[in-house]
Chains A and B, each alone.
Chain A
Amino acid sequence: MTDAYIFDHVRSPRGKGKSDGSLHQVTPVELLTQVLESLRDRNELDTSRIDDVIMGVVHNQGEQASNPARTAAINAGYAEEAAGKQLNRFCASGLEAVNSAAAQVMSGMSDLCIGGGLESMSRVPMDTVGGALAVDPQVAYGGYFVPQGISADLIASKYGFTREDVDAFAVESQKRASHARDEGYFDNSIVPIKDNLGDILLDHDECIRTGTTVEDLAKLKPSFVQMGEFGFNSVAIQRYPEVEKINHVHHAGNSSVIVDGASAVLVGTKEVGEELGLTPRAKIVGFASTGTEPTIMLTGPAPSAEKVLKRCGMSKDNIDLFELNEAFAVVVLLYMQQMDIDHEQINVNGGAIAMGHPLGATGGMVLGTLIDEMERRDLNTGLVNLCIGGGMGTSTIVERA
């Protein structure tokens, strides 16, 4: 099997995913276009050598429908040989895209690919996208569907995480993200997004709330109370009858921020790198996805981590640094408990609670953040992980090249 290497990665800054967000005026394809342009330009890439541009997009409709991967590549002026495809593994789409790129390379069927993702949540809002999961009565009723917020609160209720626990975690995420941004840890990877006159619209993650305290968060009302009362709490308890009641602990301050963003990771063989003058930064050791119980939905990360570790003949003690997307605070708290790892080993530069979770794009972003930090700390191995709607987890292990 051929080894797959990561030569570089870039991402957009994360803009507030509402109509007053700095990236709202940028079309999704343009957002991805600028990220792809940057990846090409800073590596002086001969794009005719790119076999595939694989992009994760969760809400593949409207402007984000019809394969924006290929559309953006062409829009960015890539060679027409660079094919493109769009995939959807919900919140892990961006990482899945990188894994797919790696798989094509490892199988020997591709030399050089780009994986990553895109989501303009301000322009294609979450609640406008249907699909059978929540809407089709046979599927939703038969599958005990509940929205993610209820799943997160269910985890807290079942495993006994309190409001104080999740708020404290959120405060730490803000603190770490502020520090990392101020110290310039993200600078090398962020592509400033410009308007058509060339003026910069945004060059940093705009949602970080520096100085957030536990007291600030204590004032926020839980977000999913009403939703629960509609019937979703009952559904959750029907699936988890050992839970007496759902304790609603999550709110806007300890859940991931809704943002716009795009990411791109360049993956290829050692040989193509040598040929094109690219220096490998990391090697993809292995990756895995797995399914878990769909109602509680967000408990997939640890099983997927165990799966990839086992497949690679490793244990969690072989991993120097972890990244797990902070969809909700409780997801990471449970993961740390199940994996028996300390907060000092995971999300050391904060996460989506502070910076945001542009669904399809996030996987590529957190992978990049992990590699940057491994380099900064001079560590050797890292594991990146996301929880996923519908009850799944996706993991990737990388090591320094």
Chain B
Amino acid sequence: MSKTMNMNVDQDGIAVIEIDVQDRPMNVITADFADDFKNCVEEITKDEKIIGAVLTSAKNDFMAGADLKSMLPSLIGLGDASAMAERIIESHKLNRAMETCGKPFVAAINGTALGGGLEITLSCHYRIAADRNDAVLGLPEVMVGLLPGGGGTQRLPRIIGIQAALELMTQGKHLKPQKALAMGIVNELAPPDELLSKAKQWIIDGGKATQPWDTKGFKVPGGFDPNTKGTIQMFSVVNAMVAKNTNHNYPAPIAIVSSVYEGCQVPIDTGLEIEAKYFVGLLCDPVSGNMIRSLFNNKQSADKLRARPKGVDKHTVKTLGMLGAGMMGAGITLVSAQAGMKVYLLDSTQENAEKGKAYSEKYFQKSVALKKMTEEKKAAIMDNIIATTDYNDLKDCDLIIEAVFENREIKADVTQKTEAVIGEDIIFASNTSTLPISGLAESSSRPHNFIGMHFFSPVEKMPLVEMIMGEQSSDEALAKSLDYIQQIKKTPIVVNDSRGFFTSRVFSTSCNEANEMMREGVNPALIENAARHAGYPVGPFAVQDETTIDLSVKIHNQTKEDMGDDYKPMSSIEVMQKMYELGRLGKRFGKGFYEYPEGGKKFLWPGLSDIYPVNEQQPDIQEIKDRMMSVQALDAYRCLEENVLTSPDDGDIGSIFGWGFPPWTGGVFSYIDMVGLQNFVDRCDDYCDRFGERFKVPDSLRERAKNKEKFYS
């Protein structure tokens, strides 16, 4: 029997193929799978005793997509785009053979079916899905910069219509089986234990072995004609929406739209060829490689706690002690309670503590209103949040997280009060975004248990947690903290101590760059647009208004006081000080770089041009983008050199999930690789001459470029 599937023929002559890819927790498409499946289809076609076939899985789920780690490299290994396309077109023949062999194939989708896994079922003549709430169906290839290359862009629109198919594929949405039924992706649902019998029954009842698109006079459901109003309007709007959503940075969505548009005007075999060529185009584009590496492979390995020190027993937090009920504390409480923990939320007054708890109340109330949560579930969660001012409540906590005001004295005070009541081996994690951990640990009597755990705001939305190792933080402290992060389903990176750590420090460099550009006379609107068009979620002036100029100047003053002459402030600190003097303190204060008219949309404060007159001659937008991304990438490299970062993976993940470094680049280090090390160094040298020392290239990076030593081979 083969390594990827079993086939048995029952007394009715129905072949049941059970996919069961060995050594894999989830079925994925491998080279072996393709060979085995081909043999099965051939046998079914040839064997006269077989009247039809059921395709299902022996595992809990049906099948995920192609194995990104083996299939893609083997394709790319062909080296030549035409050869890659040829191989894919060849592989389509198997699905076409199945569709046209004259015997009915029915997919019994027993669990989750994604990507290539779902595409195989689309080649079956009928699809029945197990009615399971924990299963999802979808074509998520776009999320890693690809398109459904197993015929998905051709078959799905021919099954459910153009618009629905485009939506599903360009957004990579996952659907519950119920929804998939409603959309017509599957024909029928069945209770899991009746799935197989229903599938067989469909064959016995004479299920047709012809695909609709192989029937004469076939029309795409809902209609598709580039000469009619409906199609014209739909595509013209879809094209614009894709441009809006991608800023032309992501090649996959428009390739999907084109594959559908061009492929659905021709017979399916030609359509499949068109799809294969668009697929190969994406495969050869660096963006898909970047996305697969950072958003899929490296993120997955971070989520699996690649960084967790070995030899420490798994630690499950049942009760969390949360110090400080401000915005961060309230958010951490929310996600922890949501993950099933009991949370003691402590603040200096009961009123503050209750206010922090109310944040969760409001959030879950929304979930209930949207029917995403039951009233009972919400009540159970809320019962698990205990607002308190009493340190004694912390005595049974498995983990303490501190998120009080960013002030050394206050932090020291709560640390000592907490350590007085908690167990000796309880980890104390400080959620600070700027203050070095080793310094804060000085107030702790157990500095080995003291660690930095930097959350991002709003906690319930931001996926990243930056773990900061103080000088004395132990492996155990890290391991236990990472276990907690896994419990709350966040993605961790681990960095070493430094002012601003990795994320806060590097993030701010592009804001500084934006301020510098404004000071040089670059149009602020152009800078904002350049940032957004590069793929940042918000422009640098909007972001500085959000985090407030007030806070930036206060941090500046505090750091100056802390460090004295050692302090090197951001080169553009004067811009912030100027705004501060003018009382333009940020969004929360009603004005900053932007004006915030009541009931209207914000717009850049016209007075900016009086302070920083806009030059007649403006730079090319590409240079503005390059400056913002390069200044961050370069500082990230310094972090690697200074051992603040210990791997480029952490830098890439931290930059994307921490501050929204454009995901299509794959993160700061993937970005340097993509630009090319030598190009990057040359660019920074040029910028160093023209714009300042902040672009000074470290010798080690220069050396690296000379040796053509990429961050990822």
A18 CB to closest chain B CB (Å) equals 16
Chain B's nearest CB lies how many Å from the CB of A121? 14
In angstroms, Cα B298 to Cα A260, docked, is 62
Tell me whether B87 is interfacial, beta carbon within 8 Å.
no
Which of A128, A138, A140 touches B228 (beta carbons < 8 Å)? A128
In the complex, B570 has a CB within 8 A of chain A:
no
Contact with A along B225-268 (1 / 0, CB 8 A): 01111011101111111111101100000100110010000000
Q: Mark B512-544, 1 if CB is under 8 A from A, else 0.
A: 000000000001011011100100000000000
Whether the Cβ atoms of B618 and A127 lie closer than 8 Å is no
Picked from B237, B261, B601, the residue with its CB within 8 Å of the CB of A136 is B261
Does B705 make an interface contact (CB < 8 A)?
A: no
Q: How would residues 212 to 242 of chain A score, 1 for a CB under 8 Å from any chain B CB and 0 otherwise? A: 0000000000000000001110110110011
Cβ-defined contact, B243 with A235, below 8 A: yes
User: Looking at the complex, which one of A61, A127, A146, A245 makes contact with B240 (CB distance below 8 Å)?
Assistant: A146
Contact A238 B232 (CB under 8 A): no
Contacts of B231 in A (CB 8 A): 130, 135
In the bound assembly, the distance between CA atoms of A98 and B571 in angstroms comes to 63
Q: How many residues of B contact A (CB 8 A)?
A: 36
- Say whether, besides A128-B232, A242-B526, A231 and B227 are in contact (CB < 8 Å): no
Distance (whole angstroms) from the CB of B499 to the closest CB of chain A: 34
Choose one: A130, A231, A235; the contact of B226 (CB below 8 Å): A130
Given the known A-B contacts A230-B237, A244-B528, are A137 and B247 also in contact in the complex, defined by CB atoms under 8 Å? no
A134-B232 CB under 8 A given contacts A230-B241, A232-B240, A235-B244: yes
Expressed in whole angstroms, the minimum distance between the Cβ of B172 and any Cβ of chain A is 18
Q: Are A235 and B240 in contact, with the CB atoms below 8 A?
A: yes
Distance of A145 Cα from B240 Cα, bound (Å): 8
- Cα–Cα distance between A165 and B361 once the two chains are bound (Å): 52
Q: Which of B232, B258, B261, B601 contacts A127 (CB 8 A)?
A: B232
Q: Is the CB of B242 within 8 A of A134?
A: no
Contact partners of A230 in chain B: CB under 8 A: 237, 240-241, 244
Determine the distance from Cα of A57 to Cα of B528 in the docked complex, in whole angstroms.
43
* Contacting pair B242 A137 (CB below 8 A): yes
Q: Is B75 an interface residue (CB 8 A)?
A: no
The docked-state distance in angstroms from the alpha carbon of A230 to that of B233 is 11
Shortest B612–chain A CB gap in Å is 15
Chain A residues with Cβ under 8 A from B236's Cβ?
134-135, 140, 145, 147
Is A238 within 8 A of B243, CB to CB? yes
Chain A residues with Cβ under 8 A from B238's Cβ?
137
Q: Please provide the chain B residues from 612 to 631 with a CB less than 8 Å away from any CB of chain A in the complex.
A: 618, 621
Collect the chain A residues with CB atoms within 8 Å of residue B81's CB.
Answer: none
Q: Which of A147, A238, A243, A245 interacts with B247 by CB under 8 Å?
A: A238
- Known contacts A61-B227, A130-B226, A241-B533; A137/B257 CB under 8 A: yes
A234 touches B240 (CB 8 A): yes
Contact partner of B525 (CB less than 8 A), chosen from A137, A147, A244, is: A244
**Given the complex of chains A and B, what is the CA–CA distance between A145 and B244 in angstroms?**
12
Is residue B604 within 8 Å, beta carbon to beta carbon, of the partner chain? yes
A127 to B227, CA, bound (A): 10
* A128 neighbours in B (Cβ, 8 Å): 227-229, 232
Asked if B603 lies at the interface with its beta carbon under 8 angstroms from chain A, I say yes
**A141 at the A/B interface (Cβ < 8 Å)?**
yes
Residue pair A135, B232 in contact (C-beta under 8 Å): yes
With contacts A61-B227, A128-B232, A244-B604 known, is A134 near B239, CB below 8 A? Answer: yes
Q: Does A169 contact B (CB under 8 A)?
A: no
Q: Is A5 an interface residue (CB 8 A)?
A: no
Complex alpha-carbon distance, A122 and B525, angstroms: 42
Pair A127/B233 contact, Cβ less than 8 Å: yes
> How many residues does chain A have at the interface if contact means C-beta atoms less than 8 Å apart?
28
Interface residues of B in 54-68 (CB under 8 A from A): none
CB distance from B614 to the nearest CB of A (A): 9
> Out of B235, B525, B603, which one reaches A242, CB within 8 Å?
B525
CB pair A141–B254 under 8 Å, yes or no, is yes
Query: Is residue A287 within 8 Å, beta carbon to beta carbon, of the partner chain?
Result: no
Q: Which residues of B contact A90 (CB under 8 A)?
A: none
B355-373 interface with A by 8 A CB criterion: none
Given A141-B254, A244-B604, verify A231-B533 contact (CB < 8 Å): no
Q: Within the assembled complex, what's the spacing in Å between the Cα atoms of A140 and B234?
A: 13
A7 at the interface (CB under 8 A from B): no
Distance in angstroms between the alpha carbons of A244 and B595 in the assembled complex: 13
Write out the residue numbers on chain B whose beta carbons fall within 8 Å of the beta carbon of A238: 243, 247-248, 533
Complex-state Cα separation, A301 to B146, whole angstroms: 42
Q: Nearest chain A CB to B255's CB is how many angstroms away?
A: 9
CB-defined contacts of B530 to chain A, threshold 8 Å: 241
A243 to B525, CA, bound (A): 7
Least CB separation from B601: chain A residue: A245
Q: Given the complex of chains A and B, what is the CA–CA distance between A141 and B236 in angstroms?
A: 9
Instruction: Indicate whether A130 sits within 8 Å of B232 (C-beta atoms), given known contacts A242-B525, A244-B528.
Output: yes
CA distance A232 to B247 in the complex (A): 12
- Report Cα–Cα, A147/B261, bound state, in Å: 20
Contacting residues, chain A, for B240 (C-beta < 8 A): 140, 145-146, 230-232, 234-235
Asked if A144 and B243 make an inter-chain contact with CB atoms under 8 angstroms apart, the answer reads yes
Chain B neighbourhood of A138, CB < 8 A: 254, 258
Pairwise interchain contact B228-A244, C-beta atoms closer than 8 A: no
Contact A231 B244 (CB under 8 A): yes
A141 with B604: CB separation less than 8 A: no
| Complex: A241 Cα to B534 Cα, angstroms | 11
- Closest residue of chain A to B225 (Cβ to Cβ) is A130
Identify which of residues 133-156 in chain A touch chain B, using a CB-to-CB cut-off of 8 Å: 134-138, 140-141, 144-147
Q: A230-B240, A238-B243, A238-B533 known; A137 and B235 CB under 8 Å?
A: yes
Could you mark each residue 236-256 of chain A with 1 if its beta carbon is under 8 Å from any beta carbon of chain B, else 0? 011001111100000000000
Query: Cα distance A38–B239 when bound, in Å?
Result: 45
Residues from 1 to 49 in A contacting B, C-beta threshold 8 Å = none
| In the complex, chain B residues whose CB is within 8 Å of the CB of A135 | 226, 231-232, 235-236, 239, 261
Interfacial chain B residues near A237, Cβ < 8 Å = 529
Contact of B529 among A141, A232, A241 (CB under 8 A): A241
Report B-chain residues with C-beta under 8 Å of the C-beta of A147.
Answer: 236
Interface string of A108-139 (1 = CB under 8 A from B): 00000000000000000001111000111110
The verdict on A242 contacting B229 (CB below 8 Å), with A234-B243, A235-B243 known, is no
Chain A hits for B528, CB < 8 A? 244
Q: Please determine whether B523 and A231 come into contact, CB atoms closer than 8 angstroms.
A: no
Bound: A151/B621 CA distance, A: 20
With a cutoff of 8 Å between Cβ atoms, the chain B residues found around residue A129 in the complex are 227, 232
Q: Which residues of A contact B226 (CB under 8 A)?
A: 130, 135-136
Within the complex, what minimum Cβ distance (angstroms) separates B418 from chain A?
49
CA distance A235 to B247 in the complex (A): 8
Q: In whole angstroms, what is the CA distance A243 to B529 when docked?
A: 8
Asked if B523 contacts A242 (CB within 8 A), the reply is: yes
Closest chain A residue to B228 by CB distance? A128
Closest B residue to A233 using CB positions: B244
**Do B243 and A127 have beta carbons less than 8 Å apart?**
no
| Complex Cα gap A185–B530 (Å) | 52
Q: A130-B228, A234-B240 are in contact. List 20 more A-B contacts (CB 8 A).
A: A130-B231, A134-B235, A135-B232, A135-B261, A137-B242, A138-B254, A138-B258, A140-B235, A141-B242, A141-B248, A141-B257, A145-B240, A231-B243, A231-B244, A234-B243, A234-B247, A235-B244, A238-B248, A241-B526, A244-B529
The 4 closest A-B pairs by CB, nearest first: A231-B240, A231-B244, A241-B529, A234-B244
Residues of B in contact with A (beta carbons under 8 Å apart):
226-229, 231-233, 235-245, 247-248, 254, 257-258, 261, 523, 525-526, 528-530, 533, 601, 603-604, 618, 621
Could you name 29 residue pairs across A and B whose Cβ atoms are closer than 8 Å?
Answer: A127-B229, A127-B232, A127-B233, A130-B226, A130-B231, A134-B232, A134-B235, A134-B236, A135-B239, A136-B226, A136-B258, A137-B235, A137-B238, A137-B254, A140-B236, A141-B239, A141-B248, A230-B237, A230-B244, A231-B240, A231-B243, A232-B240, A235-B240, A235-B243, A241-B529, A242-B526, A243-B525, A244-B529, A245-B601
Residues of A within 8 A of B (CB): 61, 127-130, 134-138, 140-141, 144-147, 230-232, 234-235, 237-238, 241-245
